[in-house]
Structure 1
Amino acid sequence: MKAIQIFSYGTPDVLAVTEVERPEPGPGQVLVAVAASSVNGHDALLRSGAMKIVSGRRFPIGVGLDFAGVVAGTGPGVHGVAIGELVWGTVHPREKHAVAGAAEFVVVAADRIGPVPAGLSAVQAAALVVPGITALAALRGATHLAAGETVLVRGAAGGVGTATVQLAHGFGGRVTALARTRHAAALTGLGAERVLDYRETAPEEAGRFDVIVDTVGTDLARYRRRLTKGGRMVTVGLSGPAIAAIAASTVFGSRRIRTFSADPRTRQLAELAGQVASGAIVPVIDGVHPLAGIASAHRAFDAGGVLGRQVVRVSTSEDPVDPA
């Protein structure tokens, strides 16, 4: 089967389509015939070598945190998962994988998948897994957003940003989105009350907010100062300076800068599916790329300035590859 692997760290040019043995599910595992994957910040960091403390220097390393596809097999001890079922899920984000989501087949623990919500294609599902779960964790688990509170979403045009705008609006938040002006109409349509161009608006000019969700990871201290009394801030844009800012903010107690690691399991995927079913969130896709063109998807992600996700279509049609 075909899989995307890297044999060294670097630019998107290090991504290679390789031929590998099809994996087999072990106890508690499922085999998924992948139809689509997407490009996450995790994938870009892994590819560049920024996560080498986890991934190490032994190659090859598989790429692709998330996936959507059809269950092609189950290992011993797996119950409640049907062969042929369309599912979405992720590989373990803190483990090294020789084959990951950007491959024709992937093996994962059965508790890392869930049924794709009715009405979503595999491409749409792949675009929503990590952004949706991350937005849910930011708004419910980390900041406990309440209806009527003001919310600032920084990096609002990205995958996590567009998901956060939608869910914050759905939870009753009054959303201000920081993004490029050309995305203002789309973000307003997703639920933002205001859209401010981050290139023209200093943090001090944006106003004050009960909740700030940051996906960028820079100028965190300046944005933290925009919190109201009792406000909460979370960032998913981790870097060296961001980690330093998070550590320095602990003196501010409840108004410190928080972060978290979203690790989707079946329960969280079911919660996200419920939000999809209610109409609170839809996938936002900027581009769809073939498996052989995954480098172009990573280049678009690295360049930024787009609206939504870069999706990699693993099979040659909308349907997953034949699981037989």
Structure 2
Amino acid sequence: MRALLFDDYGPPDVLHIGRVERPLPGPGQVRIRVRAAAVNPVDWKIRSGASAAFHRLSLPHIPGLDAAGVVDEVGPGVTGLHVGDEIFGSTVTGASAEYALLDATAWAYRPAGLSWAEAAALPSAAETGLRAVDLLGVADGDTVLVNGAAGAVGLAAAQFAMARGASVIGTAGDHNHDFLAGLGITPTRYGAGLVHRVRAWTPGVNRALNAAGQGALPDLIALTGAVERVITVVAEPAAAELGVRFTTGAERRYWEALQLAVDLHEKGRFTLPVQHVFPLADGAEAHRRSEHGHGLGKLVLQP
């Protein structure tokens, strides 16, 4: 099969198209013919070597975690999935290829109203967003501040929080404020003066999530009044110093997150926009755009 590969760590240009054997599904796995694969920040962090201490690879490596496609082979012990089913989820092999394996606990059926690209964009963002909301204990009547609400994880978390009856304030660049407001999120700017701006709108923030950038944690603690009401999905040295919990993914629950995202999407209450779809051969450009910031919406590859 054709796949996007890198043989050694480095810049986006180390990515190239190569041919490898199709993976065979083991117990509890299914194989899909990939129709779309998302590009996430963790993909280029792994490719560049920035996270080599945390992600041990055998090279060459196929990047990508999230994919959508058609089941073409079912492994031993899998029930409820059949050849021809259209699904999306988290891969156990690289997603940026013509075929990929999915764990049978980390998928959902693709609804008719969700394009292949939109489906591929969901898994990691939805899982991380719901995990953060759960760990924060967001409930009806809470006011939640999401730092980085226009990013995929922040946007997912904001919509999950609103589905629970919480009010959400989200930081974002000015050019994304209208989009956030259209979803029911109160937008505000990043950076200096955040505490003053938020307190001008609401007397209290119950919970806060850091989903983007560095340096916001002191403001989030000040707004919530307690370090245990703040969580970060961004690896930031200040988190340990301040006592802010950093969720690394040990608590992952893809099944619940994807089912909830699909349910809310079908009710018109959940969206993750796709900014651009690249052919698989342009994987280096997709990584380059992701690495240097690409604005609102996910980047997706199509084999």
Q: Please, what TM-score do these two structures have when normalized by structure 1?
A: 0.84
Q: Where in structure 2 are the equivalents of 1:156-171 lying within 5 Å?
A: 156-171=149-164
Which position in structure 2 is the counterpart of 1:320?
A: none
Q: Where in structure 2 are the equivalents of 1:121-160 lying within 5 Å?
A: 121-139=115-133, 141-160=134-153
AA aligned to 1:211 is R
Which position in structure 2 is the counterpart of 1:213?
A: 209
Whole-angstrom distance in 1 between the partners of 2:26 and 2:166: 44
For the 8 Å contact 1:67–1:89, the answer to whether it is kept is yes
2:83 is equivalent to residue 90 of structure 1: no
Distance 1:67 1:271, change over 3 A: same
Secondary structure of 1:212 counterpart: strand
Structure 1 residue 79: deviation in Å?
1.6
For the 8 Å contact 1:6–1:59, the answer to whether it is kept is yes
2:110 is equivalent to residue 116 of structure 1: yes
The sequence identity of aligned pairs, in percent, is 35
For the 8 Å contact 1:24–1:31, the answer to whether it is kept is yes
2:269 is equivalent to residue 273 of structure 1: no
For the 8 Å contact 2:191–2:216, the answer to whether it is kept is no
Which position in structure 1 is the counterpart of 2:183?
A: 190
2:75 is equivalent to residue 75 of structure 1: yes
Structure 1 residue 196: deviation in Å?
1.6
Distance 1:211 1:160, change over 3 A: same
Distance 1:297 1:201, change over 3 A: farther
Q: Please, what TM-score do these two structures have when normalized by structure 2?
A: 0.89
Distance 1:142 1:6, change over 3 A: same
Whole-angstrom distance in 2 between the partners of 1:55 and 1:259: 16
2:4 is equivalent to residue 11 of structure 1: no
**Number of residues paired by the alignment?**
297
Distance 1:203 1:60, change over 3 A: farther
Whole-angstrom distance in 2 between the partners of 1:62 and 1:297: 14
Structure 1 residue 88: deviation in Å?
0.8
Secondary structure of 1:281 counterpart: coil
Distance 1:55 1:258, change over 3 A: closer
Which position in structure 1 is the counterpart of 2:234?
A: 237
Give unpaired runs (5+ residues) of structure 1.
Answer: 93-98, 251-255, 315-324
For the 8 Å contact 1:233–1:258, the answer to whether it is kept is no
Secondary structure of 2:301 counterpart: strand
Which position in structure 2 is the counterpart of 1:22?
A: 22
AA aligned to 1:124 is E
AA aligned to 2:121 is A
Structure 1 residue 206: deviation in Å?
3.6
Structure 1 residue 220: deviation in Å?
4.3
Whole-angstrom distance in 2 between the partners of 1:258 and 1:198: 20
One of 259, 278, 289 as aligned partner of 2:247 = 259
AA aligned to 1:157 is A
AA aligned to 1:218 is Q
Structure 1 residue 103: deviation in Å?
0.7
More moved, 179-188 vs 22-31: 22-31
Structure 1 residue 46: deviation in Å?
0.8
AA aligned to 2:188 is L
Aligned-pair RMSD on alpha carbons? 2.1
Distance 1:24 1:121, change over 3 A: same
